[in-house]
Amino acid sequence: MASEEIAAGMPGYKDRKTGLMVFGILEMVLGIICLGMVFLMALGALVSAFAARGSAPQTSAAIMIPGILVYITMGAWFIWMGIGSILARRWARALMLVVSWIWLVSGLMGLVYMLAFMPDIYSQMGKSGQVPPQVAALIKWFTIGFMAVAYVLIPGVFILFYGSRHVKATCEKRDPSPRWTDKCPLPVLALSLMCAFWAICMPAMGFYNWAMPFFGVILEGTSGAFVALGAVLLLAYAAWGAYRLDIRAWWCAAFLAAAFGASAVITFSRVSLLELYERMDIPAQQLEIMQQCALPQMSTIAALCGAWFLIALVYLLFVRRFFARSGARSD
């Protein structure tokens, strides 16, 4: 579609090129901050290694590797999205809008979790003498405020901006060629990205002794790795098939959601978080610190897992209509 046709088809269309540049710069700043966190984590691992010579609790370097990889990925992602936004690329708008929705929903769930359990955790810290009660209260409210900004406010702002019809028209005008993100409805693209994300993250369980909740027990070692590998293959298939609007991929995603949800609910109804951490080979000194905190009850964790499953189920039912209409599709 020509630029003039796009503009003519948008009554009251306003060019948002300046806004795209501002948000692109903001995303690049976020990417630089994420990469800075990699430096801080690496520095922390170095300090921990020296602290191991004394009596201070030490952190396993292997346990920190997944976190470092996550921040590297986030840094690269935000910088890439920032460049795409500055250039007003259609794919950058679509990806930022989809990921911001995932970010917001996950952030809201995390914030609810924090509001439910942080008062007990920090009250316990104050009573145990780890920190003065006033400092514990300050840390609690600072953490809640930080989460509200980082996981709710920021993605909410991104959704309002990139979801604007003016931003959409601006990107279509300045980037008229169809992109790969245009070949799939955005709600289904979100499903595809989530499946791909978990497929990539699953091998990181190898840094945690392959400890996997599995229908009432914690698998580890070879058995845990076998289950993780099977999950990776199914998630990868669901991600690619969902992008192609293949109904078989939708059924695969529904099966995985039901399996993961039921497994988590059953497991955390019987197994405590502390036992899971022990199976993950968390250092004994860190486990002792966790024991001093008010960890959530098993029933509460099971309820949260059940809530996540219900959200996933509702979303899968919502996107089902796109598959029913299009069926299997080849590029």
Q: Which residues contact 7 (CB under 8 A, 6 or more apart)?
A: 13, 169, 173
- Does any domain span residue 60? no
Residue 115 lies in a domain: no
Question: Is position 215 within any domain?
Answer: yes
Q: Which pTM does this prediction carry?
A: 0.83
**pLDDT at residue 51, rounded to an integer:** 57
What gap in Å lies between CA 139 and CA 293, rounded to an integer?
A: 15
Q: In total, how many domains does the chain have? A: 1
Domain for residue 80, yes or no? no
Q: What is the pLDDT along the chain (331 residues), one digit of tens a residue?
A: 444 444 445 566 788 999 999 999 999 999 999 999 888 877 766 666 565 555 444 555 667 788 888 899 999 999 999 999 999 999 999 999 999 999 999 888 888 877 776 655 655 655 555 556 676 677 778 888 888 899 999 999 999 999 999 999 999 999 999 999 999 999 999 999 999 999 999 998 888 889 999 998 999 989 999 999 999 999 999 999 999 999 999 999 999 999 999 998 999 888 888 888 888 877 777 777 666 665 666 677 787 888 888 899 999 999 999 996 544 454 4
Q: Which pLDDT value is given to residue 109? A: 85
Domain for residue 66, yes or no? no
At residue 328, the pLDDT reads 47
10 occurs within a structural domain: no
The whole-number pLDDT of residue 110 equals 83
In a domain, 219, yes or no: yes
Q: Which pair of tokens denotes residue 176?
A: 């008229």
Query: CA 197, CA 190: separation in Å to the nearest integer?
Result: 10
Residue 16 lies in a domain: no
Residue 322 lies in domain? 184-331
Question: Which residues, other chains included, contact 125 with Cβ-Cβ below 8 Å and sequence gap of 6+?
Answer: 131, 136, 292, 293
DSSP string, 164-229: -HHHHHHHHHHS-S--GGGGS-HHHHHHHHHHHHHHHHGGGGGGGTT-EEETTEEE-HHHHHHHHH
